[in-house]
Amino acid sequence: MLQLAWISPYDDESPFPPVETALREPDGLLAYGGNLSPRRLLLAYRHGIFPWFSDDQPILWWSPDPRMVLTPSRVKVSRSLAKTLRKGLFRFTFDRAFGAVIAGCAAPRRGEPGTWITPEMEAAYLQLHRLGHAHSLEVWHGDELVGGLYGVAVGKVFFGESMFSRMSDASKAATVCLAHQLEAWGFPLIDCQMHTEHLERLGARTIPRSEFRALLDHWCEQPGPPVPWRFDIALPGTGGT
């Protein structure tokens, strides 16, 4: 940790170190310390930085290069997913069950020993949600919550944090419906943070961190949609509201 910048937990407004100083290995590790107050978190996202750490670690701050992003207008819908959507199995909502969504994302995954969404992280993002900055998308099968995702919006950029699925295709459907609505609202960008094959299949791609930062400088300053979020477009084969 001596190679990293330390951030005081008692100062919400001190700047982060320049993202260009982040480590190459592990990719993007920038700083440690600080806190998870709304002011500190929003400052981080605005500059392309996010927290990611385990229970036995201090708060770690990251800004990887390259950055995985999804352009809403370029989301890919596979034949099998399109078929699932046409069946009308799912209903989608925004901001109706944020606590249940983040709890679903924090639950242990099959084959994984634990989760990075610590109780401290849950509490921090619940506070961001209460303030209108963090949003959830819920996927329902009847009255059962079967999937969803959550993230943080700054201006017209959505910073995706995590997703979960208890039914086949639920998290993919959530991403597609999120992209359709964000495109309608004029969002050019969904931040996916780091590369995964799952996101790549949905159309996400990597861009240089410098390009990502330039996009943030413009689009984070634009006005976002009113809160709480609600769908105002027709979704394929769904009852989105």
Q: Domains along the chain?
A: 5-64 (3.30.70.3550), 68-219 (3.40.630.70)
Q: What is the pLDDT of residue 235?
A: 80
Instruction: Go through 92-123 and write b for each residue having 16 or more CB atoms within 10 A of its CB, e for each that does not.
Output: bbbbbbbeebbebbbeeeeeeeebbbbeebbe
Question: Tokens 């990075």 appear where?
Answer: 116
Q: What count of other Cβ atoms lies within 10 Å of the Cβ of residue 201?
A: 12
Q: What is the pLDDT of residue 241?
A: 47
pTM equals: 0.94
Q: Which residues contact 95 (CB under 8 A, 6 or more apart)?
A: 129, 135, 136, 227, 228, 229, 230
Tell me the C-alpha distance between 241 and 226, whole Å: 15
Q: Contact at 8 Å (CB) between 17 and 5?
A: yes
The pLDDT tens digits for 64-112 are 999 999 999 999 999 999 999 999 999 999 999 999 999 999 998 765 5
Q: Is the pLDDT of residue 240 over 90?
A: no
Q: What is the pLDDT of residue 1?
A: 47
Detail the DSSP E strand segments found in 142-233. Answer: 144-154, 157-165, 189-193, 205-207
Q: Contact at 8 Å (CB) between 60 and 52?
A: yes
